[in-house]
Amino acid sequence: MKRIFTALFLCAALSVPALVPPVMNGPVNDYAGLLNSAEKRQLTDFLTNLSDTKGIQIAVLTLPSLEGDDLESFSMRTVEQWKLGKKGEDNGALLLIAAAEKKIRIEVGYGLESTLTDMQSGSIIRNIIAPAFRSGNYGKGIIGAVQKMANLTAGGDVGDIDESYASEISDEDPAAASRSSAIVLFLFFVFMMIAMNRRRRRFGRSRGSGFARSAATAAFLSSLSKHSSGTSSWSGGSWGGSSFGGGSGGGFSGGGGGFGGGGASGGW
C-alpha cells in the first residue's frame, strides 16, 4: 500500500504542468509590476532603438512567481519561444526576474556570448541588480543592468537610458576587491613574520618577541575578518502582481535568434 501511495504521489508531482512563457509584448514585459510608467517608457524606447540601429534585441521579463518551475528551464523555454535576435546572428539576450523567489537570470544568445560572457553576466547580477533590489529600487537595478548589457554587446555608443543612473554603473566587483585586499594583507603578514624570525636568529630571542608576534597575528586576523565579511542582511521589497497579457510591443518581435544556455543566474 505504501508503494502505491508513493507511486501516486510521484505521478501527481510529475503531472504538474510547467509554467508557460507569456507572449512577448515588446521589449519590456513587467508582469511583476516592478517598474513605474516612466521607467517602462525609457526602457522600451531604448531597447527598441537598440534593435532598430544595432540589430541587437534585449528583452526584460519580470514575473510575480515561477510557480515552482525551474529558473533556467523556464528561461530557456522563453527565449526559444521569443526567438530574440536575428536568425543566423543569434544576437539576443533576456533579463528574467522572478519576484517571489528573488531570482535573476540573464540568458545570452550564441552570437553575444563573446561580448556578454557568463562572468560579465554574473557580475551584472551581483554588482548592479542585487544591490539596487535589496534597497527596494527595482527600476534602478533593471535600467542599470540593461544599460550595461547594451554597452557590452553593442560596444558602447548606445546612449543612456537614464543619465542619473549612468554614472553609477561600475565594472568593479566588490567581492573581488575584497579578496585582493585580503591577499595583500596576507602577504604583508608573511613578510613581517619572516623579518621577525630573521631578527630573532640574528640577535637572539628577546623577551618581547613572543608578544610582538601575538600582536601581529591578532592585527592580521582582525583586518582579514573586516575584508572578508562582505555579506550583509537584507529583506526584499514588495511588488504589484499582474496577469500575463496586454500591452503593445511597438513592432518589437523576435527575429529567429538561437540560444544555448549561456549567461548567469543569481538572486537578491
Over range 125-134, report the average pLDDT: 98
Q: Higher model confidence: residue 265 or residue 211?
A: 265
How far is 214 from 84, CA to CA, in rounded Å?
A: 60
Rg of the chain (C-alpha set) = 25
In 23-144, beta strands by DSSP E: 28-30, 57-63, 92-98, 103-109
CA-closest candidate to residue 149, choices 195, 116, 101: 116
* CATH number assigned to the domain covering 21-171+240-267: 3.10.310.50
- Per-residue pLDDT at 76 exceeds 50: yes
- Per-residue pLDDT at 9 exceeds 70: no
How far is 86 from 51, CA to CA, in rounded Å?
A: 10
Confidence of residue 205 (pLDDT cuts 50, 70, 90): low
Cell of 261: 544556455
Over range 104-127, report the average pLDDT: 98
How far is 115 from 151, CA to CA, in rounded Å?
A: 10
Over range 215-232, report the average pLDDT: 44
Tell me the domain boundaries of the chain.
21-171+240-267, 174-228
Q: Provide the sign of the torsion angle of the four alpha carbons 241, 246, 247, 252, taken in this order.
A: positive
Q: What is the pLDDT of residues 135-164, one digit of tens each?
A: 999 999 999 999 999 999 998 779 999 766
